[in-house]
Amino acid sequence: MPETLTSAQPLYARHARAAERGAWSIERDICWGEIDSSRALAQPAILAKLRDAALIESFHPVNLSRLIRFAWDDIDAGVVFSLEMYEGFKHFHALRLYLDTVGYEPRITDAELRAIRERADRDDLDPTEPVAPLVEFMLSEHLAAYFFRRLGEQADEAQLRILLGLIAADEVRHAQSASDLIAQRLAAHPELVPNVLRAAVQFRHYGVEAVGDVPVAMPGDDVAIRTFATRIERLCGMRIVDHLKQELER
């Protein structure tokens, strides 16, 4: 059976409490004066991926504004997206500040950020597909958590490892919040299970709109892929591979 929510507490209250428990400070939790720029610059591939990640995080006002309009009548979703809007900005701000602090080039400019938004699709999401945008959001955040975690494991610079660990923890919570929203909709409309499975099969990270090729920290990350599939199975009560077999048999 699909996963269901059993707590009598409002979902939005759980989301808000979790955000407060996981809150961290850019100013207090990162020792900016202790950053070893030479050590950071010795790993340019990591910094290049961080730059792309910062651009994707900067894109949240476009992507989340579409999601907010899509789920305008869902109080819980409004809270999730509002929290995500702020925390996505915090991720962008911290990553950009780190890159500027170590002197990484090319620097991110406001003109570049505006250009990304200008070429984005700002039309509303399809209202006839009630869960697919939530699946894309959930799985994008799920993969972001693994991206930041893996990159942190590879980083030699100590303050960057701390920063990436904090961001990764946020992304885990964001993915779970989106999963809760989907579970809530499936509990009310179990006939939407095929829609979730179809959206998972057709998944595209929203970051492609910002940077084209979304960066990965570990190509073919088996754990990230398996947990991706597990999230869907827990929600739908069916494995993606079984769904595909059913589709092929039709």
Q: Which residue has the tokens 């993969």?
A: 143
Q: How many CA atoms lie within 13 A of 191 on its CB side?
A: 1
Q: Which residue has the tokens 């250009």?
A: 115
CA–CA dist 116, 92 (Å, integer): 14
What is the topology classification, in CATH, of domain 38-249?
Ribonucleotide Reductase, subunit A (1.10.620)
Domain ranges within the chain, ordered by starting residue: 38-249
Instruction: Give the pLDDT confidence of 104-142 residue by residue, as tens digits.
Output: 999 999 999 999 999 988 888 988 899 999 999 999 999
For residue 141, the Cα-to-chain-centroid distance in whole angstroms is 2
Burial class (CB in 10 A: 0-12, 13-18, 19+), 83: buried
pTM of the model: 0.93
Token pair 């993606």 is at which residue? 240
Amino acid (1-letter code) at residue 168: A
Question: Contact at 8 Å (CB) between 131 and 195?
Answer: yes
pLDDT tens per residue across span 134-184: 999 999 999 999 999 999 999 999 999 999 999 999 999 999 999 999 999
